């Protein structure tokens, strides 16, 4: 089958599932048109087979233009994170999209909805299934995949599990955490969405998809804790409704309160596969929940390692003054970042960064680094005695005192991973970006805490980090300018 001739329209490409799907479609060489209200979000993409069109799902005129020449359209959007009534917004968007697809002669719609059964669905699940019905009734053959909890780094459901287990050594377990569910790995969801492109169909279908195991939300919490090496006490309670639970979740998790409320409301409904037709229609054999969690933890590390923090901050900060500091969380990780400007070009500014440690030292508070090394050795660590292989140049894998080089890009990036004894994992990263008058240097300390002990360790050290890292960055800039 020709994989480049049939134009694919992808909605939701900036979202969690849509972003993963876009990457997979681009790997296969498919011709893709991404529909978005913010084309600037795709400015950095350089794949020749992908184009971007500006359109609004509630604007019929813009949709007609976006649909022109489209063979298959993916519908991967929802309004649950909207501050307005998301059910009404989803209904309007689906009706407008369905009519535009019919008018443009689209051959197939592929939609990802929610798996659930029961007489009283949550408003979120009810809306997801209503959208599927609207698309199936459009006259365009539609395949509606219904999925349970999606396991993967960045998924709302998975990040709730992560936050609860990482932050709470003692958890109360309401009755709803025992509701059966059939979680599915994000990789398997994407595999189904891609496979549907080649599925021959003349009428609309509803296909239920899930992983190989039926478990409870409590099972997921326990398995996550086991794989992270965390001991957690789970106390069952007869009360605590989903509504009250969602308010509590808003205090202890990074998920927006109203999104958490909708997700928890949905946990009272069983989300298990009752129709196994997907196993006959496709050759995909989904993973179990243990492997899904293991892969989520692994790929989360890989994605985090590739993240460029300068890009993240540049979107949200208009005034990049020296000493600008940001503290925030990304999933379970704690991040402390700051920038300073130097008039040096990137290649000159990078020299003192690359020469950190060893005989030169850490540019500021070396006695604090020495003390940290003594404590590390007392607890069986390497301390600060390892020095450097080369005083001037670094390669991936090189040791620098109690750190190791995880990644280096000349003139652009240095990321160190700590090999000292800490209750978690730690990184120190430097990113350099040229501008019209020199270079912005961003220094970012990243910590992946192991449970509550790790979080206490981080917060207790915040005053020292603020002095130490700020002094280090200032000295790096000063050294670069003196040596220019």
Q: What is the 3-state secondary structure (H, E, C) of 397-448?
A: CCEECCEEEEEEECCCEEEEEECCCCCEEEEEEEEEEEECCEEEEEEEEEEE
Q: How many residues does the chain have?
A: 484
> Per mean pLDDT, which of 50-59, 303-312, 342-351 is the most reliable?
342-351
Q: What is the pLDDT of residue 126?
A: 84
Instruction: Say if residue 260's pLDDT is above 60.
Output: no
Q: What is the dihedral of CA 79, 95, 97, 157, to 10 degrees?
A: 30
Q: Do 309-482 and 7-302 fall under one CATH topology?
A: no
Helix axes 156-167, 451-482, angle to 10 degrees: 100
- 245 pLDDT band, cuts 50/70/90, is low
The CATH H-level superfamily of 7-302 is NAD(P)-binding Rossmann-like Domain (3.40.50.720)
Q: What is the pLDDT of residue 278?
A: 95
* pLDDT tens digit sequence for 382-434: 778 788 989 899 998 899 998 999 889 999 999 999 988 888 888 999 999 99
The CATH H-level superfamily of 309-482 is START domain (3.30.530.20)
* pLDDT tens digit sequence for 79-95: 655 455 778 888 999 99
Instruction: Say if residue 105's pLDDT is above 80.
Output: yes
* pLDDT tens digit sequence for 293-332: 999 988 876 666 555 555 444 333 334 445 555 655 555 6
Instruction: Say if residue 477's pLDDT is above 90.
Output: yes
Q: What is the pLDDT of residue 170?
A: 85
Calculate ∠ Cα 181-185-188, nearest 5°. 115
Q: What is the pLDDT of residue 363?
A: 92
Mean pLDDT of the chain: 84
Q: What is the pLDDT of residue 44?
A: 56
* CA 262, chain centre distance (Å): 20
- 244 pLDDT band, cuts 50/70/90, is low
Average pLDDT over residues 278-292: 95
Instruction: Say if residue 241's pLDDT is above 80.
Output: no
Buried b (16+ CB within 10 A) or exposed e, 314-327: eeeeeebeeebebe
- 248 pLDDT band, cuts 50/70/90, is low
What is the spatial distance between Cα 291 and Cα 293, in angstroms, rounded to a whole number?
A: 5
Domain ranges of the chain: 7-302, 309-482
* pLDDT tens digit sequence for 145-179: 999 999 998 888 888 888 788 878 888 888 778 88
């Amino acid at each position: 089958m020709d994989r480049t001739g049939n134009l694919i329209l992808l909605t939701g490409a900036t979202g969690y599932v849509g972003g993963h799907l876009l990457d997979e479609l681009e790997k296969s060489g498919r011709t893709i048109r991404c529909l978005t209200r913010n084309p600037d979000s795709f400015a950095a993409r350089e794949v020749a087979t992908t184009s971007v069109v500006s359109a609004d799902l509630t604007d019929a005129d813009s949709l007609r233009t976006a649909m022109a020449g489209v063979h298959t359209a993916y519908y991967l959007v929802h309004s649950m994170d909207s501050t307005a009534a998301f059910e009404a917004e989803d209904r309007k968007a689906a009706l407008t999209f369905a009519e535009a697809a019919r008018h443009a002669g689209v051959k197939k719609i592929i939609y990802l909805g929610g798996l659930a059964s029961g007489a009283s669905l949550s408003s979120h699940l009810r809306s997801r299934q209503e959208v599927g019905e609207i698309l199936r009734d459009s006259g365009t053959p539609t395949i509606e995949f219904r999925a349970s909890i999606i396991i993967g780094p960045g998924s709302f459901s998975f990040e709730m599990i992560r936050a609860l287990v990482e932050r709470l050594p003692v958890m109360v377990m309401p009755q709803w955490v025992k509701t059966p569910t059939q979680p599915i790995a994000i990789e398997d969801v994407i595999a189904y969405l891609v496979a549907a492109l080649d599925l021959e169909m003349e009428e609309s279908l509803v296909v239920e998809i899930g992983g190989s195991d039926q478990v409870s939300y409590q099972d997921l919490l326990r398995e996550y804790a086991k794989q992270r090496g965390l001991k957690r006490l789970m106390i069952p309670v007869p009360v605590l409704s989903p509504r009250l639970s969602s308010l509590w979740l808003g205090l202890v998790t990074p998920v927006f309160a109203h999104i958490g409320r909708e997700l928890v409301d949905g946990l009272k409904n069983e989300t298990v596969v009752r129709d196994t037709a997907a196993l006959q229609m496709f050759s995909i054999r989904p993973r179990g929940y243990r492997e899904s969690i293991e892969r989520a933890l692994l790929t989360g590390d890989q994605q985090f390692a590739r993240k460029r923090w300068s890009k993240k901050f540049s979107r949200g900060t208009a005034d990049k003054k020296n000493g600008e500091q940001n503290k925030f969380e990304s999933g379970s990780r704690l991040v402390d970042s700051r920038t300073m400007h130097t008039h040096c070009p990137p290649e000159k500014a990078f020299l003192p960064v690359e020469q950190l440690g060893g005989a030169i030292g850490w540019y500021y508070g070396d006695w604090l680094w020495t003390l940290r090394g003594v404590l590390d050795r007392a607890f069986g660590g390497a301390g600060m005695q390892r020095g450097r292989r080369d005083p001037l140049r670094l390669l991936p894998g090189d040791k620098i005192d109690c750190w190791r080089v995880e990644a280096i890009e000349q003139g652009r990036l240095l990321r160190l991973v700590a090999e000292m004894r800490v209750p978690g994992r730690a990184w120190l990263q430097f990113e350099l970006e040229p501008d019209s008058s020199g270079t912005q240097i961003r220094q970012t300390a990243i910590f992946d805490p192991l449970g509550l002990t790790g979080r206490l360790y981080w917060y207790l050290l915040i005053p020292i980090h603020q002095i130490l890292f700020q002094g280090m960055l200032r000295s790096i800039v000063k050294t670069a300018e003196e040596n220019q």
